[in-house]
A and B are shown apart, each in its own frame.
Chain A
């Protein structure tokens, strides 16, 4: 079963961290990704650029409308995601709890729709 782990954190807090602190967190991410890869559980993931670079697109009556910023203003912002393989929700939540940003932010765990169901 695949799970999407959405990583929410306070962007302003992250930006205030000095470079050695950010590098330490990146290293923790690399370690976790390495561990998950060895176990065949890491399927993909990305860090996102800050929400100031986000754009939201809608099409109504055939016309494209574009607004700057993310879909929703939230206290913490989506900063990245992992796609992982886990045997069940419990294992997915265990992996989520190991994501470095889980200690300061929030990790939303979402099961993916199996491909054949679409």
Chain B
């Protein structure tokens, strides 16, 4: 079963972190990834550029409208995601708790729809 982990953190807090602290977080991500990968539990993931680079697109009556910024203004912002393979919900939550940002932000865990139903 695959789970999408949505990584929310306070962008401003992150931007203010000294470079050495950021490197520590990146290192934490590398360690987690290197642990998950050989067991084929890491299926992908990306860091996102900050929400000022976001745009939201809608199409109504065939006309496209674009607004600057993310879909929703939230206290913490979506900063990245990882896609993992886990045997069940419990294992997915255990992996989520190991994401470095879980200590300062929030990790939303969402089971993915099996492809055959899509």
Contact = CB atoms under 8 A, between A and B. Distances in A.
A4 B113 contact: no
Nearest to B44: A44
B12 interface: no
Contacts of B97: 57, 59, 64
A55 B49 CA distance: 24
Contacts of A103: 59-60
Interface of A: 2, 4, 6, 8, 26, 29, 44, 46-49, 51, 53-60, 64, 66, 70-72, 74, 76, 78, 80-81, 83, 89, 93, 96-97, 102-103, 105-113, 118
Q: Is the interface of B mostly helix, strand, loop or mixed?
A: strand
A57 B106 contact: yes
A46 B60 CA distance: 24
B47 A112 contact: yes
Nearest to B117: A47
A106 B58 contact: yes
Contacts of B71: 6, 8, 74, 76, 106, 108
A46 B2 CA distance: 10
A112 B46 contact: yes
A56 B4 CA distance: 12
B90 to A, nearest CB: 10
Nearest to A53: B111
A4 B83 CA distance: 13
